[in-house]
Structure 1
Amino acid sequence: MELPKDIVNKMERGRPADYSFRKMTTIKAFGLESARYTRVGGVPDRGPEKKFLTKSLWLNNNKLKTTKNVDELVNAVIEYPSYLGWIDFSFNYITEIDEGLLKFPNLKILYFHGNCISDLNEVFKLRPLEQLRSVTFHGNPIANNPKYRSYIVSALPQISNLDFTPVVKTEKMFPMPPELIRKFKEDRAKEKALKK
């Protein structure tokens, strides 16, 4: 769906839908009135359905353990969910990335820094997000893995920035870590089994 230029401009210039510092332990579809306005000097403009005209959602500095149900929140508060480009999940207790994020194919930025992700395979779930350009995972247990950066760059070849640092061309040329090769083989075997 092609949006009118004035709507697109409002979304791009607009404030984020800010649900940070709410002490949320789970993501649920809060009302529009629950968005914070003090950090960014107001809330985003509203569209025809009175939902926010924004491409950004802030859920940072809460007590979330998973991204589960983020799609319900996005659909409840954002006027054009398919245009969502940035979600900030930083400084929570997230251990699991729910595949509900894949419902937003235009995501370009995902912040997960300062969480509790300990399984590198959680990152692999983000592979289908072809528009993804910038991700953060520093401050998670996975960042202590010596192959952390090469794993992320290999698992998410579409990104150009990891942990606020550009991914350089030579990094993309490094051999894929053996753990990731195993993960690819396991996934292919599962797909073949399902087709039979």
Structure 2
Amino acid sequence: MIMEIPREHLRILEISKPADFSFKKLTTIKAIGLEGARYTRVGGIPDRGPEKRFLTKSLWLNNNKLKTTKNIHELVNVTIEYPQQLGWINFSFNFITEIEESILKFPHLKILYFHGNCITDLNEVFKLRPLKELRKVTFHGNPIANYPRYRSYVVSVLPQIVNLDFTPVVKTEKLYAMPPEVIKKFKEEKAKCQGSVVGNQVKLIENSK
């Protein structure tokens, strides 16, 4: 069931301040409560909706001590009035090594900041592919950014983005040949998908006996 958002709330969401939980020394993402929000540098905190949660599309968790994005959906659900409208999360300047797939619960995410973290595995980037509305993402300041074909890898894996590390993705970049690592990953994912389909077909045959 899709929740209908009042027109007035839609207007507020478009101009709202972020829910700011930056500089809180957080080591894990948890439901820290609305009272934990900071008065941001733009002044104030977001308005609240009927459920007393914040009317905003933006969540700031930057400059903490997080190592993973695990349980992000729990924090969003208790602090944001309309979780499905979430469009921007700032995870910059933490110690994140892993992007947990619960982030995919928010399909309208357009901006994700991961710069200044500790991501060493390029496969973490691959996890963001299902976010079809994603337009801006940052990974500079992570070990993966030192990879020789880093930018080409990210652009190939996330063709929906238009800006990487605060630099526009130009058309010619999308015409470059995919790095071998990307081709290998796509083949692995295709094989995994086909294996899953075959496995389901076998189960159906066995169950019909």
TM-score, normalised with respect to structure 1: 0.98
Corresponding residue number in structure 2 for 1:132: 134
Report the 3-state secondary structure (helix = DSSP H, G, I; strand = E; otherwise coil) of the residue aligned with 2:89: strand
Q: 1:24 aligns with which of 23, 26, 49?
A: 26
- TM superposition shift of 1:190: 1.2
Within 2, Cα distance between the matches of 1:191 and 1:38? 44
Matching residue of 2:195: 193
After TM superposition, the structure 1 stretch with the greater mean CA deviation from structure 2, 4-13 or 86-95, is 4-13
**1: CA distance, partners of 2:106 / 2:42:** 24
Question: Match of 1:101?
Answer: 103
State the secondary structure of the residue aligned to 1:53. coil
2: CA distance, partners of 1:188 / 1:57 = 34
Q: Distance in 1 between matches of 2:184 and 2:111?
A: 27
How far residue 9 of structure 1 moved from its aligned partner, in angstroms, is: 1.2
1:166 — aligned with what? Answer: 168
Provide the C-alpha distance between the structure 1 equivalents of 2:159 and 2:98, rounded to a whole number of angstroms: 21
Which amino acid in 2 is paired with 1:176? M
Runs of 4+ in 1 over 3 A off after TM superposition: none
- Aligned partner of 1:86 in structure 2 is 88
Go from structure 1 to structure 2 and tell me whether the alpha carbon gap of 1:135 and 1:178 turns closer, same or farther (over 3 Å shift).
same
> How has the CA–CA distance of structure 1 residues 38 and 150 changed in structure 2, closer, same or farther, with 3 Å as cutoff?
closer
How far apart, in 2, do the equivalents of 1:172 and 1:15 lie? 34
* Equivalent residues of 2:20, 2:40 under 8 A apart: no
Aligned counterpart, 1:48:
50
Instruction: Flag structure 2 segments of 5+ consecutive residues without an equivalent.
Output: 200-209
Q: What fraction of aligned residue pairs are identical, expressed as a percent? A: 73
Secondary structure of the 1:87 match is strand
**Which deviations, in whole Å up to 9, do the C-alpha atoms of 1:6-27 show, x marking residues without a partner?**
1011111111000000110100
- Are 1:37 and 2:39 an aligned pair? yes
Q: Quote the offset at 1:132 in angstroms.
A: 0.1
Q: CA offset at residue 38 of structure 1?
A: 4.6
Name the CA distance, whole Å, in 2 between partners of 1:20 and 1:83. Answer: 20
Distance 2:41 2:26 in 1: 17
Q: Which moved more, 1:26-35 or 1:184-193?
A: 184-193
Tell me the number of residue pairs that the alignment of Structure 1 and Structure 2 aligns: 196
Q: Measure the CA separation in 2 of the matches of 1:3 and 1:50.
A: 15
Give the greater-gyration-radius structure (CA). Answer: 2
- The offset of 1:42, in angstroms, is 1.1
d(CA) in 2 for partners of 1:39, 1:69? 26
Aligned counterparts of 1:2 and 1:28: Cα–Cα separation in 2: 27
Cα distance in 1 between the residues matched to 2:115 and 2:14: 24
Partner of 1:72: 74
Could you report, residue by residue, the CA deviation over 1:85-140 in whole angstroms, capped at 9, with x for unpaired residues?
00000000000000011000000000000000011110000000000000000000
Distance 2:42 2:78 in 1: 21
